[in-house]
Amino acid sequence: MKSTRMVALPALVAAMWAMSASAPARAADPHEYEIAANDGYGIEDCLAAGSGCGQVVADAWCEAHGRGHALAFGTRSAIDGRPTPVSAVDEPYVIKCGE
């Protein structure tokens, strides 16, 4: 199981770098990226609370967009501190990047 994670994490980071140019992320702020919960790449598995690969994935996303490292990441409601009008399944994820 551990070796599967060691292979899957670099593959996930590589996929994020590859899709960064055409990613469906919407910039609400030049340093904040919103990612659909159902993007099809499994990013939400790492950005969910308590995930061990979240910081690595968030940092890779920011670096791929030329924004340094990730300052914060998680669901929109966790980042903003207020509920969103969408269901928990569809709630977007947010990555805030710093320089």
Which of 12, 36, 22 lies closest to 94 in space, CA to CA? Answer: 36
Average pLDDT over residues 55-81: 91
User: What 3-state DSSP class applies to 5?
Assistant: helix
pLDDT at 76 over 50: yes
At residue 96, the pLDDT reads 93
pLDDT at 29 over 90: no
Q: pTM of this prediction?
A: 0.65
Which of 24, 30, 13, 26 lies closest to 66 in space, CA to CA? Answer: 30
Average pLDDT over residues 16-37: 63
Residue 36: Cβ-neighbour burial (10 angstroms; 0-12, 13-18, 19+): middle
pLDDT at 18 over 80: no
